[in-house]
Amino acid sequence: MIRRRTWQGIGLLTVLATLSWFGARGRHEPPAKPFDDLDTRLNYALWDFSARILNEHGQVNYQIDAPILRNNASTQIGTVENPHISIRQENDEWYIVADSAIITADREHVTLAGNVDLRRENPLSGGPLQIQTRDVILNVKPKTARTDAAVTIAQNGDQLEAVGMRLDLKTDSYELLHEVRARYATP
């Protein structure tokens, strides 16, 4: 049998526990809200990175996917490992794969380092255009690229080799700079 003082003690403890619970509930901070934007004043790394830039009609103009993107806050330079870049315009679609990339603070210039493969697909102009080279500088707004490395261009069985190239993605034209050799497939 429980004494009366024990019951009073249990009741008092219950009341104090209930008051503590209600008091603690009121002091909690509001739930965290998701980030609207990253604070670029910090160094950060993003895994499974994917970004898209849309045109005025809401269609994807540029897309970049990479396993990891790192940002250095002091230099505002981003580095990307194994980027896959898609550039779409009218009938052309360019697909670019590189070993790594460095993105400038103004996001206007991308240095594609290591092996770089560029492929253009256009259903109106026939087969794909395949370009293999190294170390390419991509200018985002004018949609141009250039390299001083050895270049191999293949299309419809034809093959061009050169050292150095300037490429205009908008006009779908390129200029081979030095030591140009061609091998054409006969129909």
CA dist 26 and 158 (Å) reads 74
Residue 26: band (very low, low, confident or very high) from pLDDT cuts 50, 70, 90: low
Helices and strands (H and E) in the chain: how many: 1, 10
Domain ranges of the chain: 44-183
Residue 22 — φ and ψ, nearest 5°? -65, -40
CA dihedral 107, 112, 117, 118 (to 10 degrees): 30
Q: Which of 30-34, 52-56, 62-66, 174-178 has the lowest mean pLDDT?
A: 30-34
Share of the chain above pLDDT 70, in %: 87
Q: What is the pLDDT of residue 116?
A: 93
pLDDT tens, 113-164? 999 999 988 777 667 889 999 999 988 888 889 999 999 998 888 888 999 9
CA dist 110 and 79 (Å) reads 10
Write the single-letter amino acid at 177: L
- Whether residue 180 is predicted with pLDDT greater than 60 in this model: the reply is yes
- Whether residue 91 is predicted with pLDDT greater than 90 in this model: the reply is no
CA dist 88 and 63 (Å) reads 9
pTM of the model: 0.70
Tokens of 144: 């141009």
Instruction: State the average pLDDT over residues 73-94.
Output: 85
CATH of 44-183, one of 2.60.450.10, 1.10.150.120, 3.30.420.40, 3.40.50.720: 2.60.450.10
More confident residue, 127 or 111: 111
pLDDT averaged over the chain? 82
Mapped onto helix, strand or coil, the DSSP state of residue 17 is helix
Tokens of 77: 């330079």
